[in-house]
Amino acid sequence: MWAAFLSLIVVLLYATAVFFAVRAAQTARTPQGAVGWVVFLMTLPWASVPLYMFLGHHRFRGYRIARRESERVVAGLKAHADAIAPDPLSLSVNARPFEQIAHMAISRGNGARLLTDGDATFQAIFAAIDAAQSYVLVQFYIVRDDELGLELQDRLIAAARRGVRVRFMTDAIGSHGLPESYFRDLRDAGIDVADPRDQRGPNFRFQINYRNHRKTVVVDGKTGFIGGHNVGNEYLGQDPVFGNWRDTHVEISGPSVLQLQLIFCEDWHWAHGEELLDELSWQSVLDPQDRNALIVATGPGDGSETGSMMFFSAIAAAQQRFWIASPYFVPDLDILAALKNAAMRGVDVRLLVPDVVDHRIPWLAAFSYFDEIRAAGVMVMRYTDGFLHQKVFVVDSSITAVGTTNLDNRSFRLNFEAMALFFDEAMAEETAQMLERDFRHSYELTEPLSAQPGYIRYGAPLARLFAPIL
């Protein structure tokens, strides 16, 4: 009897593995991902079947349903953008691919200020919250219950007590350690909270591989913030392991704030089930800096490969330089080919990555790509003054991007991300100068993988195997 029962379990396990393998072949976003899952499922079903149930989903249908509720606002913003469209002569690059990816139009009349460390970023965010008159929208991937997290909480509670409507949202995975008391204190002050702990049931459990990686603050529909900083003492450079934390945020004003606000509304609707559109201001004031800008939101709710396509479009547009800073470098084949092609065309391609280890597997996997891109002429720079976490790129003197998207498969296909793009020469030069300062705290990687220590030499190819299925 016991043997018959075990045999039945084995048959069911293999049948499930076959079913999941067929599903992976049909739905995986890349051929490499499909092959990776199929091989894994058919060779180790006892391990792969449970993992596939939690990590193998490749589409996010529920978010697309939530997004349809905002179509009327999208139409309004597009009409508004048409009325304040930039002079075509002010764009030195074809911006249509970025507008197609964003489903939004570039607008003029935007202001932007780079915030190049945690102190500058949170001083600006806290000042904006303290000055709020109507509402504050806050979303971070990670919020910690430490000094910085408690200061954010205090500022939000003080705003709520002044009569400002405050909404707070974070990610279930990123903020898994945030205690319930943190949310309770916000609620007790009258703050609306999208608590990831409230998202239960099979729909939540089997979608934990999707993470909302966005870091957004919007105040009164007039001021916005987006970038790489989360809320924790380490982002102020106070972690004894990482030391200095090199990150970048950008403060924006003008019509692009409304695009950032719309992205928050879509996320809020999905996480909290509430539609905010009619409760917020959708009127913008042109900033005298008059920069052309666009917010590009990407994620698994999109029907196409928007994350990868955004980088591909930027690399393809480069004629003189493409400089990019990212804490992780695990690209797909298209981005790998685009980087090599740009370097072979004579473009000055520089990749800035951290020398310090954050997450071991992607850090190791990056080494398996370095020889290939260096052979094509890409310069690999490794940052040594603490941990580099910024997500920034600059194209020629025409495009600057600051936001949350890493140069890896997770950001391309599994995370909800957002980048602020500026089609402005002055902004591009300011960003390039910032990156040049970072280059001075870096060294160029010249040694091949074969000359690296053994744990890198043998670990990098193994870590790369995980790239297609993560």
The reply to whether 400 and 440 lie within a common domain is yes
For 345-381, the pLDDT digits (tens) are: 999 999 999 999 888 899 999 999 999 999 999 999 9
Q: Residue range 412-430: average pLDDT?
A: 93
For 273-311, the pLDDT digits (tens) are: 788 888 999 888 899 999 999 999 998 777 677 889 999
By residue range, what is the domain housing residue 344? 306-469
263 pLDDT tier (thresholds 50, 70, 90): very high
Annotated catalytic residue 146: no
Annotated catalytic residue 396: yes
Number of domains in the chain: 3
33 pLDDT tier (thresholds 50, 70, 90): low
Give the per-residue pLDDT at 345: 97
Give φ, ψ of 244 to 5 degrees: -60, 135
Q: Express as a percent the part of the chain with pLDDT over 90.
A: 62
The reply to whether 214 and 317 lie within a common domain is no
Global pTM reads 0.86
Q: Residue range 8-31: average pLDDT?
A: 64
The reply to whether 75 and 149 lie within a common domain is yes
- Of 57, 222, 391, 408, the active-site residue reads 391
Annotated catalytic residue 389: yes
- Of 57, 117, 195, 213, the active-site residue reads 213
The reply to whether 413 and 440 lie within a common domain is yes
Q: Residue range 218-244: average pLDDT?
A: 95
- Of 249, 302, 389, 424, the active-site residue reads 389
Indicate which CATH number applies to the domain containing 314.
3.30.870.10
More confident residue, 438 or 176: 438
Q: Which residues of 373-389 are buried (b: 16+ CB within 10 A; e: fewer)?
A: bbeebbbbbbbebbbbb
- Boundary of a domain, candidates 56, 86, 102: 56
The reply to whether 43 and 187 lie within a common domain is no
Sign of the CA dihedral with 119 first, then 393, 221, and 169 last: negative
